[in-house]
Structure 1
Amino acid sequence: MTRRVIIVTAVHGPSAAFLPEAYKSLDQQELPAGWEWHWVIQEDGRTEEVLPYVPDDARVTFRQGRPGGPGVARTIALAHAEGAYVKILDADDQLTPGALARDLAALEADPAIGWTTSRVLDLLPDGSTAGFPGDPDDGPIERGAVLDFWKANDFRAQVHPATLCVRRELLLGLGGWMALPASEDTGLLLALNSVSRGWFSGEVGLLYRKWEGQATGQASHVDPAEREARMAVVEARARALAAFGWRYPCAPGSTLLAQPS
C-alpha cells in the first residue's frame, strides 16, 4: 500500500516566482519504496500572481483563501491532502537531495519521535551558501530542550522550524500553526518539543533563501514591541503544554495528547 507525505507551502505574490525552484528540489527527492509525496500550495489570498508559477503536476494541489498570514495558509492546506506526515517547504526555499528520505527514516524507525528537523544553509542572493554555528548533535532532541535553548539565546532556537517534518495527527492535535503575524513556525516547534521528542539530522536538509522581499527581512518583523509580545505568547503556550503533562505518543486506548496516570 502506498503511503504519503504531505508537503505544505504557503505562498503570496512576491514569493511565487520561486515556486519552480522549490518544485525542482521536491521532484528530485528519492523516497523509500511504497512512499509518495503530495504538494499542497496554499496562496495566502486570492490573486492572479501565483497560479502562473504552479507546476503542472498531478501531485500538486493549488488552493487560495482569505489572507491571514503563512500560519493560517499552512493550517487550512491540511484540509486538502491526507498523509501520515507533513513536511514544511516555504515557497522561496529548496530541499536538498535525500532530505525527505532522512525525515521518513527517523520517523518510521521510532514511534516516540514526533517530528524531525535538519541542518540549514542560508542561500544568499549571489548563489553562495552560509552555515550556522552551534547545531546540536545528530540524533534525538529531548522534550524541553528547544525551549531551554531558545530562552537562553535571545529567542533563537538551535534547530530551524522551516525544516520541520511532523506526524500529521500530532500537528492537528496541537491546532496547527500559531495565530501570530510572525514566528508562527517557531511557536509550533516549541509546542511540539513540549509534548514529544524530536530528531535532528546533521546533514543539510534545506537551503533557506535570503532575499529582500522575505517577511523576516522586513522592519515590522523586528519591531521590539511586537517581537516581545510574540515571544511571550510562544513561550507561554509551550510552558502551558509542558505543565499540563501532555505526552506524545500516548498510551494505547487513550487520547492523542494525554496526561500520564
Structure 2
Amino acid sequence: MNVVSVVTPVHGAAARFLPDAYASLLAQELPDGWSWEWCVQEDGSGVRAQECLPADDRRIRISASRAGGPHVARTMAFARSTGRYVKTLDSDDQLTPGALARDLAVLENRPSVGWTTSRVVDLLDDGSTVSFELSDPPPGLLARGSAFAFWAEHHRPQVHPATLCVRRTLLALLGGWMALPASGDTGLLLGLDALTDGWFIGETGLVYRKHAGQITAHPDHRDGVEWQARMSLIREHAQAVRAWADDAESP
C-alpha cells in the first residue's frame, strides 16, 4: 500500500479543532492502492489530543515532543511519518474533498514537480468563508524561482504554504520546516522553490480557520525586530539553497 503522510502540529488550545480536521480526512477518496496516515504531534505537554480523536483508527499516530512551536512540531511529525509524499494540515484547518487525490495526481504524473499548493478559503467565526482568488497564480506549473520572486517583491507568498504537499526526499533534504517562531512554512516553501518546480492546483484544497489563537494573529507576526530577523533568514536560506542547486547542476 502506498502512503501519503499528513502531518499536524497541535497545542492545547487548538486540540478542540481536531475532530473537524479528522472529518475532512475521512472524506478523502484516494486512488486504488493508496492510503493516508495522520501524524499528530503535540507541541509540549498537556495537549491531550487522544481525547479528541478515536482510539480505534490505526491511521492516526499521536506523539508528543518538547514545546518548540508549530514548525518544530511539524518536523517531528515528519520524522515519524512513512509516506512517499508529505501533506501539511494544521489542527484548526480542514481539507476539502478530493484535495489529497489532486495532490497525488500531480506528483505521480509529473516527476519534475517537487511540490504542490492549492487555492484556500478562509473560515470565519460566523461560519462563512471568504476567498481571495484574485491573488492566486494561474493553475499549473510554478517555475523554479517564481515563488521567491513574488515574495521578494510583495513581502508575502503568492501561494499558501499551509497547503503544501511535498515529495519526501525534498523535505528530508531541507530538514523539514524552518525552526522559527512563525513563517517556518514560508521558509520551507521558498526552499522548495529554490530546488524544483511546483504546481498550483486551481481547485480549493484547504479551509483555513481564522481565529484569535493562531500565531498569525500575534502582533509580532508582520512587523518589528522578530519579523525582520525571520524575513532575513528566510531570504538567506532560499538564496543559499538556490546557489547550491545551481552549482550542483553545473557541468
Q: TM-score range by the shorter chain?
A: over 0.9
Which structure 2 residues correspond to residues 96-107 of structure 1 after superposition, within 5 A? 96-107=96-107
Match of 1:150 in 2: 151
CA gap of 1:246–1:52, structure 2 versus 1, over 3 A, is farther
Deviation at 1:212, TM superposition (A): 1.1
Which structure 2 residues correspond to residues 25-44 of structure 1 after superposition, within 5 A? 25-44=24-43
1:8 is aligned to 2:46: no
- Residue 51 of structure 2 aligns to a residue whose secondary structure is helix
**Alpha-carbon separation, structure 2, partners of 1:156 and 1:35:** 34
Deviation at 1:173, TM superposition (A): 0.6
Aligned residues: 249
Deviation at 1:219, TM superposition (A): 1.6
**CA offset digits 1:121-141 (Å, max 9, x no partner):** 001111111111221111010
Deviation at 1:48, TM superposition (A): 4.7
**Alpha-carbon separation, structure 2, partners of 1:229 and 1:23:** 35
**Alpha-carbon separation, structure 2, partners of 1:176 and 1:81:** 12
- Residue 71 of structure 2 aligns to a residue whose secondary structure is helix
Match of 2:45 in 1: 46
Match of 1:250 in 2: none
**Alpha-carbon separation, structure 2, partners of 1:88 and 1:260:** 33
Deviation at 1:7, TM superposition (A): 0.3
Match of 1:254 in 2: none
1:212 is aligned to 2:208: no
CA gap of 1:226–1:120, structure 2 versus 1, over 3 A, is same
Q: Which runs of 5+ in 1 are unaligned?
A: 248-257
Which structure 2 residues correspond to residues 120-159 of structure 1 after superposition, within 5 A? 120-132=120-132, 133-153=134-154, 155-159=155-159
TM-score, with structure 1 as normaliser: 0.92
**Alpha-carbon separation, structure 1, partners of 2:128 and 2:25:** 20
**Alpha-carbon separation, structure 2, partners of 1:198 and 1:78:** 20
**CA offset digits 1:228-256 (Å, max 9, x no partner):** 11011001110111122359xxxxxxxxx
Match of 2:240 in 1: 240
TM-score, with structure 2 as normaliser: 0.96
Match of 1:19 in 2: 18
**Alpha-carbon separation, structure 2, partners of 1:55 and 1:90:** 18
Deviation at 1:149, TM superposition (A): 0.5
Moved more, 170-179 or 76-85: 76-85
**Alpha-carbon separation, structure 2, partners of 1:71 and 1:121:** 22
For the 8 Å contact 1:3–1:35, the answer to whether it is kept is yes
Q: Which runs of 5+ in 2 are unaligned?
A: none
For the 8 Å contact 2:41–2:74, the answer to whether it is kept is yes
Moved more, 200-209 or 125-134: 125-134
**Alpha-carbon separation, structure 1, partners of 2:123 and 2:31:** 28
CA gap of 1:118–1:48, structure 2 versus 1, over 3 A, is closer
**CA offset digits 1:153-176 (Å, max 9, x no partner):** 1x2111000000000111001111
**CA offset digits 1:15-57 (Å, max 9, x no partner):** 1000000000011100000000000000011215433113331
Deviation at 1:81, TM superposition (A): 2.3
For the 8 Å contact 1:146–1:193, the answer to whether it is kept is yes
Amino acid at match of 1:147: F
CA gap of 1:48–1:189, structure 2 versus 1, over 3 A, is closer
For the 8 Å contact 2:15–2:47, the answer to whether it is kept is no
